[in-house]
Structure 1
Amino acid sequence: MLQAQHNLRIHLRSIPNAHSLRVVLDSQRRLSHEPARRLTFSDPAGAARWAQRGLTYARLVQQTRDIGGNVGTGGLAAGQGSIAASRIQKLPHDALTDPTHTRQFERISADIDERVAHALRYGITQRLYFQRANVLGLQNRDGTLEHVIRKRFIPMTGPLKATLIDLASNLLRPQPPRDLPRPGAAESRIDFQAALHHRRGDTRPSQML
């Protein structure tokens, strides 16, 4: 299972085509379910993280059901993702109790999340992925014209584009929060500056800034 996840991480160095991407998304949805279930009692916090990961991938699967695009790598990433999802379901129940293996599994999966997020953002903004839409057309049948609805792939815009980029940027691999100044930091900085301005031998009180 770890080897398949590692191989998936390697193959995601290249942008997958739309079909391969959808298979990868679904494989990670299925894979996340197992540690979320198995770690419920031994590591509730870890189980919650995996459950949230599974929910995020489920939303991505749902939102990408109508995307297409043949540009990108083929089935290597998809194949390894499917293997990883299949293998983790066959592991013994206590297979995720080893902290070393669990941390390694988490690191590899976090790297996969990062690369999937990059693939989504890049594929959408560079128009490698398209969305399926219904367009009105004409059909000539028995010498008469009639309106028909045809399926076409068009550049991804509007709500779908915004939703996928938001999921990739803010849920799949959110940016780390900016460090907030610790309490009292502003006062300490003022005191330090006042001390610098208070020259040695000067009997006048320091000027607070």
Structure 2
Amino acid sequence: MRLLRVLPEPHCLLPVPKFDAGESGGAEHRTAALAEHDTAPDQAIHLTAAQARTIAGDVAAISQALVVLDRRYRNTPGWEPIAGCDRLGWAALATALDVSLGQPDYSVDQTGWRPRTKPIGGPAKPGVLGVLQAEHNLLVRLASFPDAMNLRLVVDSQRLLSAGLVPYAQRIDPDLAGQWGARAETYSRVQRELRNIGGRLGNGTAAAGEAANAVSRLRALAPDTVIEPRMLGGFQTLFRRVDARITDILESGVERGAFVKRVTVPRLVSGDGRLVHPVRERFVPVASAADLDVIRIAREHLRPAIEPLVPSPGASRADLHAALIHRPPKRNAPDVPRM
């Protein structure tokens, strides 16, 4: 048996059976390795007592589920029972009772290691999936800082993409279509403000290429194409992340001095005989992010302040808990309402 520490108190230890390498698939091993990584001593010190109780409750619930399955299939030919199943069941029950005495903190779900997001390679996906593929790859490529020219191309692509998806979303979710129409208008304003912003630091060629792919694939869709609600939700998730990333790029560009602002320089009109005197313009460094209207627009519309939400147990925990406490009615007992 191997002990997994899930609470800071020394008495709250839950025994977990140790399996051989060949008894389960690669997914189970990766899950166990990830759990050990996130609950290692150098990571566990950052958890609060309430977050640790939440993890302990999850481990107890999963252990109870293993015990239930082991008892249910114990009489199945060839079934290998869990060693010390009764002891594991009592330990899981004791841990669950201990956890229930306090209030769990489900914000722990937002912590821990997450795999690095990678671009979706290969040929373009057919139909709407190709647009989602390009938008996903755009988000990944925006991890590298773009220069001002490529940033303008990316911003313009989001304007075209939002406006082009409005007719498709209108058939399924009119409220979402209204949000995307407002997003297109916001990016139109950002695009106008970026005309006065310059800067050659960065690259962003790959991001601009993916942005062009998204727009061209959207234009290739048939007008009668029906986009499922699940795909609309995927677009909305990507849009929120792209909006936040573009806002970060604008703020970071000002802080690191990568962007400069176009200003008009006054000049004296000389009597050189020319009928048209061009306006003298210069690019000057931006002292503060508050000096740019594009930063204000991005902060107010692309990344508005989100009210903190109370973390909930989530559907997976609720379903597992309902399955554990479920007791099927007796087959021979009549289902008669009680007085």
TM-score range, shorter chain: 0.7 to 0.9
Q: Which residue pairs with 1:42 in the alignment?
A: 172
Q: Which residue pairs with 1:10 in the alignment?
A: 140
CA offset digits 1:81-116 (Å, max 9, x no partner): 121112112212344521222211221222111111
Identical-residue share of aligned pairs (%):
35
**Candidates 108, 128, 131, aligned match of 2:261:** 131
Over 3 Å counting, the alpha-carbon distance change for 1:54 and 1:101 in structure 2 is: same
Q: Unaligned 5+ residue runs, structure 2?
A: 1-130, 311-339
Over 3 Å counting, the alpha-carbon distance change for 1:102 and 1:151 in structure 2 is: same
Q: Tell me by how many angstroms 1:136 deviates.
A: 4.7
Residue 68 of structure 1 contacts residue 153 of structure 1 at CA under 8 Å; is this kept in 2? yes
Q: 2 CA distance for matches of 1:63 and 1:53? A: 15
Q: Which residue pairs with 2:280 in the alignment?
A: 150
**Candidates 197, 204, 210, aligned match of 1:67:** 197
Q: Is 2:76 the partner of 1:76?
A: no
- Pairwise CA RMSD: 2.7
Q: Unaligned 5+ residue runs, structure 1?
A: 181-209
Over 3 Å counting, the alpha-carbon distance change for 1:41 and 1:8 in structure 2 is: same
Q: Which residue pairs with 2:38 in the alignment?
A: none
Residue identity opposite 1:154 in structure 2: V
CA offset digits 1:19-60 (Å, max 9, x no partner): 010000000000000221222232110101110110110010
Over 3 Å counting, the alpha-carbon distance change for 1:91 and 1:105 in structure 2 is: same
- Taking structure 1 as the reference length, the TM-score comes to 0.74
Residue identity opposite 1:5 in structure 2: E
Q: Tell me by how many angstroms 1:68 deviates.
A: 0.7
Aligned length: 176
Q: Whose radius of gyration is greater, 1 or 2?
A: 2
Corresponding residue SS for 1:39: helix
Q: 1 CA distance for matches of 2:187 and 2:173? A: 21
- Taking structure 2 as the reference length, the TM-score comes to 0.47
Question: Which is bigger in relative contact order (C-alpha 8 A, separation at least 6)?
Answer: 1
CA offset digits 1:95-141 (Å, max 9, x no partner): 45212222112212221111111001111232211112232569xxx
Q: Which residue pairs with 1:33 in the alignment?
A: 163
Over 3 Å counting, the alpha-carbon distance change for 1:71 and 1:105 in structure 2 is: same
Over 3 Å counting, the alpha-carbon distance change for 1:22 and 1:160 in structure 2 is: farther
Residue identity opposite 1:70 in structure 2: R
